[in-house]
Amino acid sequence: MSNVLDQNIQNYEMLLQDCDDVVKRLMPLEGDGGFRIYISYIDVMVDRRVIEESLLEQFLAYTHQQHMQTPTNKSFITFLKDSGVATADVKESDDFNAVISAVLSGDTILFIENSSKALIVATRAWPNRGVGTTETEKVVRGPKEAFSETIRFNTILIRRRIRDTRLKVKQKQMGVRSKTDIALMYMEDLVRPDILQEVQRRLSLYDIDSVMETGTIEQLIEDKWYSPFPQLQFTERPDKAASAILEGRIVVVVDTTPFVLILPATLNSFLQASEDYYNRWGISSFIRVLRYIAMFLALCTPGLYIALTTFHPAMVPSSLIFSIAASRQGVPFYATVEVILMELAFELLREAGLRLPTAVGHTVGIVGGLIIGQAAVEANIASPIVVIVVSITAIASFSIPNDSMVSAIRLCKYWIIFLSAILGLYGFMLAMLTILIHLTGLRSFGIPYLSPFAFRGVNQGEDLKDSIVRMPIFTMKRRPIYSQPGHRKRLYSRVDTWSEREDWDAAETHEMEAREESRQDD
């Protein structure tokens, strides 16, 4: 910044040349010496009422109080900071880059005569659609509100649910050109320091042009980029994000997108829904078991059908294999080609239903599936049993509550089909084994992906109470392994004595110390 107002204006307007949405105005204040200020902001990104009432009216009042005397830059800046601007968020800056960034973020800047500092006044009022309802994670029982594209709305929706001073929000910008605001939200006493440091380190590794959605950050900071399985969880539900924070996890909020990232993540977390904790434990457990069965069906049904009917028909009951053989009479394709063709047809229907408007998309998905299936059977392109197999696979995949996990299963399904078509049941088992080995080697910021199934002894086995079966709330007294040891007790019963609570805290501290010693030995 320069002491010469005209020089500052020239540099500023040169950088924002041909930006017609930027309002720029040079205002001479009343006085004998021609004292001037320069005000600038981006139209529609600011609150005009704040500018008119908090800035312009105050300027006029100040010059009137000075009785037409020329103010000095020092007295004028002091007046503006202390009482001249009717808003609390006012700061000085002598960094031109910071001034430009503030304008592009929706603030109003003031250049003042004979001053090497500019004033930045918070006047942001971005266009937004407000708080809407969930689109991808609908529930029957539970909150209906969803995140929006405004980062501050999203952080407030989480703070509304966690009214604790230990909830921290660390904000930074990412994207050389987009300068997208990103916020890390976590509980100071629950989050693992090593995970928090690792997240911050990975975010600082890259300089990228722009960040338009959380998917960009997910692909930059995940552990294994080549894995089809998601290692970070995304959600549009504030209650789900708040619950994750209370488990010791970290939520990454990105401006301009209604989805937030939750990390670390395990396979178990992708099969959980918010509604599981609002319903009674019996029905929630039943639905979770159904989800795991659905995941297995969506992954294995086509490959298992190919392996049994092509290589091992003797393993199928005679009446069933005769029925399958009769239904395939006249079909000119091998079972493998038949299954792949129908699977691809249903994939196309799925994508078409997603891209079309909601009402039309549902119609295309249902009617298109029925028509194509029936027409394929009548034209002897596919057998009825294959249509049933593909339909079961599609319906099972819709039962999984996370779209990223559905996409991973869709990809792995073709790997199982490929090996089953070559080696039969041996290929099916080999494909399942390779997927299982891959899952055991995955970690999400140091947390094993198959936890708690592969690490039952960790956290005293408490994590199994919220896995395939969701036990009653009063039995889940400890937080999952995402949280910091020593701070995992989350539910105390009033019948518990203080000595018992001290014993629990001492046991957690002992576990933390033992883990640290083991890590140092390794």
As a whole number of angstroms, the distance between CA 468 and CA 268 comes to 8
163 and 19, same structural domain?
no
**Structural domain ending residue among the three candidates 78, 103, 121:** 121
Task: Count other C-beta atoms under 10 Å from residue 511's C-beta.
Answer: 16
**Structural domain ending residue among the three candidates 390, 413, 447:** 447
89 and 19, same structural domain?
yes
The answer to whether residue 270 sits within a structural domain is: no
321 and 235, same structural domain?
no
The answer to whether residue 145 sits within a structural domain is: no
234 and 186, same structural domain?
yes
The answer to whether residue 192 sits within a structural domain is: yes
The answer to whether residue 134 sits within a structural domain is: no
Find out whether 68 and 30 touch, Cβ atoms under 8 Å: yes
Q: Write the single-letter amino acid at 517.
A: E
Tokens coding 475: 């039995």
178 and 226, same structural domain?
yes
Contacts of 378 (CB under 8 A, 6+ apart): none
388 and 253, same structural domain?
no
The answer to whether residue 484 sits within a structural domain is: yes
341 and 411, same structural domain?
yes
178 and 48, same structural domain?
no
As a whole number of angstroms, the distance between CA 393 and CA 403 comes to 15
Split into its structural domains, the chain has a count of 4
Greatest CA separation for the chain: 106
As a whole number of angstroms, the distance between CA 112 and CA 79 comes to 12
The answer to whether residue 143 sits within a structural domain is: no
The answer to whether residue 476 sits within a structural domain is: yes
Chain mean position to CA 359: 26
364 and 227, same structural domain?
no
457 and 440, same structural domain?
no
426 and 319, same structural domain?
yes
Interval 330-361: pLDDT, tens: 888 888 998 998 889 888 888 877 777 666 66
DSSP state of 25: E
Helix, strand, or coil (residue 224) = coil
The answer to whether residue 135 sits within a structural domain is: no
Query: 180 forms bridges with which residues in the sheet?
Result: 174
pLDDT mean by block of 10 residues, the chain; 522 residues: 88 88 80 71 81 68 54 61 64 87 87 85 77 82 89 91 92 90 93 94 92 92 93 93 94 93 93 90 93 94 92 87 84 87 86 71 66 78 87 90 92 95 94 95 92 78 87 88 86 62 56 57 58
Q: Write the single-letter amino acid at 109.
A: I
How confident is the model at residue 50, as a pLDDT?
74
**Structural domain ending residue among the three candidates 121, 141, 164:** 121
DSSP state of 314: G
How confident is the model at residue 290, as a pLDDT?
94
DSSP state of 29: P
325 and 409, same structural domain?
yes
Domain housing 163: 151-265
As a whole number of angstroms, the distance between CA 87 and CA 108 comes to 12
Q: Which of 113, 93, 92 is nearest to 28 (CA)?
A: 113
Interval 42-61: pLDDT, tens: 888 887 777 776 676 666 66
Backbone angles phi, psi at 28, to 5 degrees: -80, 125
